[in-house]
Amino acid sequence: MVKQTYPTGVENHGGTLRIWFIYKGKRVRESLGVVDTPKNRRVAGELRASVCFAIKTGRFDYAEQFPDSPNLDKFGVSKKEITVGALAAKWLDLKRMEITANAMSRYTSIARNVVPMLGERKLASAITPETVLLLRKELLTGYQILKVGHKTPVKGRSVPTVNAYMAMMSGMFRFAADSGYIETNPFSGVAPLRKAKPQPDPLTREEFYRLIEACPSQQTRNFWSLAVYTGMRHGELCALAWEDIDLKAGTLKVRRNHTLMKEFTLPKTQAGTDRVIHLIQPALDILKNQAAMTRLGKQYQVEVKLREYGRTTVHPCTFVFNPSLTAVNRLAGHHYAVGSVNQIWEAAMRRAGLRYRKAYQSRHTYACWSLAAGANPNFIASQMGHANAQMVYQVYGSWMAENNTEQVAMLNQKLSDYAPPMPHAIGSD
């Protein structure tokens, strides 16, 4: 019987061939998965020799040569493959612990729209900067998708929306690069699209009166009046309780927010949490009117999600605005939802015959009216829940410039008494 001979470093393992070599001072074995034949032994010997030469010359890439090797983790080398769909699912699941349910809903929606455009089954490593630029173009200008044998046109999205989509996807692919699924983030070199700075579009006083008159009930008139006189976010107004208000002191404390996901959370920003709003007289009058309707209502124990993942607290709440008072059926809850108040705003705008504006303009109206009245931007920022006046200057800077004439008139009136008397010119009468 002829004894089988093997090239150096080649051996039989259960009927198939494997090679061994020294890497970083350790003997390692790699199965080749081919049957033991004389021809395969020769090829295995040549492979082993090329591996040894690459190691000796410093050009050996373990992950490239043996991408499925269990030894990769041993040497801290990893080249994992993952599809775009699997990457999105993994990233979103891990992201859930650090963002609010409302933000999670937005992220999930973006992934649901963008992942099919990239190719759900496509490897993440196959996404190139060119792929990313084509994605951005399709998001902006619109594209065609194949559905049940027909091409369905999809409208393009706005520049701010496209930038938001790209930013979220960049975060997802940054995670892929940091985790070793891809070498570099293909989104990293793509700059945001330039966008026109949106200008505040506040209601005039005449428009405000028409809007309030067009509201279907006294309660909704009170809701939108308070929104304009305090600058509160609509979710904060939906979550407002009488336990947060001191009518004698003329103050209102913002302690919680109600989201589109129908959850109670802390206010949007850290600066906005437990902020104290100093109520002007019209706001106090509105709350006194509303108190006759809801102040003695039922108190509810409301679960409020804190910023730390998984932690909640309970707030006792007698809600200031209770839709069940005016509901024509028994389906209304004991507080308004953000989506429903937006619908009330839109319906009132139509009934009033006003040019359409988003409901968020109630907040802009408060800021613009306050600035026109001469209020300090720092005070306005604190009332609106901003950390400082920078946001006020950024958003309302151009609008404030349009009121320079009024500002000069105000300074003339208030500082004229400080001016020293000017001497008469020599020779004058």
> Is 233 an annotated catalytic residue?
yes
Please, which residues have CB within 8 angstroms of residue 381's CB and are 6 or more apart in sequence? Answer: 387, 388, 389, 390, 391, 392
* Catalytic residue selected from 41, 357, 364, 386: 386
Q: List the structure tokens of 31.
A: 């199965």
Structure tokens at 61: 């890439």
The active-site residue out of 268, 315, 334, 351 is 268
| 268 tagged catalytic | yes
Label the pairing between strands 251-254 and 245-246.
antiparallel
DSSP3 helix / strand / coil % (the chain, rounded to 5): 45, 15, 40
Residue 193: in which H helix or E strand, if any? none
Per annotation, catalytic residue among 107, 181, 366, 396: 396
396 classed as catalytic: yes
Query: Which of 233, 256, 335, 357 is labelled catalytic?
Result: 233
Edge-first strand order for the sheet with 300-305 is: 257-258, 264-265, 300-305, 312-317
- Ramachandran angles phi, psi of 304, nearest 5°: -115, 125
315 catalytically annotated: no
- Considering 234, 357, 363, 364, which one is annotated as catalytic? 363
Edge-first strand order for the sheet with 26-35 is 10-13, 16-23, 26-35
Alpha carbon 165 to its chain centroid, in Å, reads: 10
Rg over alpha carbons for the chain, rounded to the nearest Å, is 33
Enzyme catalytic residues: 233, 268, 363, 386, 396
